[in-house]
Amino acid sequence: MTDTLIRKTGRAGRITLNRPKALNALTHEQVLSIEDALDAWATDPEVRLVVIDAAGEKAFCAGGDITALYDAGRAGDLEGPRRFWREEYRLNAKMATYAKPIVTFMQGFTMGGGVGIGCHASHRVVGDGSRIAMPECGIGLVPDVGGSFLLARGPGFLGEYLGTTAHRMGPACAIRATFADHYIPEDQWPELIAGLEEDGIVQLVADRARDPGESPLTALQDRIYAHFGKDSMAEIASSLESEDSDFARDALKALSRVSPLSACVTIDLVRAVRAKLTIHHALEMEYRFTHRAVEKGDFLEGIRAAVIDKDRNPRWQHDGIADVAQARIDEMLAPLGASEEETT
């Protein structure tokens, strides 16, 4: 079975992620094949737009193939994971700046690497079953694949909240947080995709869009602003601890599950990206962390606890958020010199 179905249908370049039993987790080979297709279609006069969807109902793409990265890291191979991240980020940048419309249909789970494929498109469609999140801090990473760029664009300090708590967004929340554009009921997607293939007119997407309703995040915006606008992750946690509310308790519970180092770096990362809001700057900053993640971060331990042993009891480098020194945060985001030039 082919992991990625790539073809031209009518006026559309078509990409279908085809690993439904693996929740369409993205492999290195898929990254390269998708990039090759986009390169070919960029100058193909027969292709007016690109449509990306996925097989199965459970997930558009629930993340990257992190088990392969774990195996490489455990074997002492630092360059393999770094090469994957470099080439994945190159694809993310290409999608975000592509000259032709890209339409993505994100059913079920869209997380991590799936956000990189689905949420940098020019026209991003979600339905009732869509659940989008950036859960990287829970495995010792930071929101990457350009996720820090999307988080930095969100209103208020919503990005800091979503990036550290891994809050799952339904369709209305995803649109509010700038991870999606259009809500269209999923039973209408096949007909819409057929129309896009036949006519190559991207306006069909907006014509089908409906009101997703009020985002539950709207009711939380004042609390998110009050707590997640603090200067550091440590101050955010302290602020949450001072409030007796379901929101504060839920946020603290979510933060208790993630790598303290990753959460602290995420706050600084999102704010650094917000100060210079471009996809290339975001990916450059993210790569500074992921380049070091296997050797100096909590990545291997996070994958061990969540995916390999599944004991859900990671032994992070730091006991808690308050134990992470600013020097460690700065170290993980420091420029890489020659290695950084490879990503630009």
Instruction: Please determine, for residue 338, whether its predicted confidence score (pLDDT) is greater than 90.
Output: no
80 an active-site residue? no
Q: What is the mean pLDDT of residues 48-64?
A: 96
Residue 127 near residue 152, CB atoms below 8 Å: no
Q: What is the mean pLDDT of residues 66-75?
A: 94
Q: At 153, which CATH number?
A: 3.90.226.10
- Choosing from 64, 108, 138, 297, which is the catalytic residue? 64
Q: What percent of the chain has pLDDT over 70?
A: 98
Q: For the chain, how long is the longest CA-to-CA vector? A: 60
- 343: pLDDT confidence band, cut at 50, 70 and 90? low
- 6-19 tens-digit pLDDT: 999 999 999 999 99
- Choosing from 53, 65, 88, 144, which is the catalytic residue? 144
Separation CA 286–CA 44 (nearest Å): 32
- 302-333 tens-digit pLDDT: 999 999 999 999 999 999 999 999 999 999 99
Q: What is the pLDDT of residue 1?
A: 66
Q: What is the CA radius of gyration of the chain?
A: 19
DSSP code at position 305: I
Q: What is the pLDDT of residue 341?
A: 56
Q: What is the pLDDT of residue 344?
A: 46
- Choosing from 73, 108, 113, 302, which is the catalytic residue? 113
Q: What domain range is 244 assigned to? A: 1-344
- 159-177 tens-digit pLDDT: 999 999 999 999 999 999 9
Instruction: Please determine, for residue 252, whether its predicted confidence score (pLDDT) is greater than 90.
Output: yes
64 an active-site residue? yes
User: Contacts for 158-163 with beta carbons within 8 Å, 24 or more apart?
Assistant: 158/217, 158/221, 158/224, 158/228, 159/270, 159/274, 160/228, 160/229, 160/236, 160/266, 160/267, 160/270, 160/271, 161/224, 161/228, 161/251, 162/133, 162/134, 163/134, 163/137, 163/266, 163/270
Q: What is the pLDDT of residue 27?
A: 95
Q: What is the pLDDT of residue 65?
A: 86
Quote the number of domains for the chain: 1
Q: Count of CB atoms within 10 A of residue 323's CB? A: 14
- Choosing from 53, 88, 136, 160, which is the catalytic residue? 136
Separation CA 250–CA 257 (nearest Å): 11
Q: What percent of the chain has pLDDT over 90?
A: 97
Q: What is the pLDDT of residue 342?
A: 56
- 38: pLDDT confidence band, cut at 50, 70 and 90? very high
Q: What is the pLDDT of residue 190?
A: 98
- 84-102 tens-digit pLDDT: 999 999 999 999 999 999 9
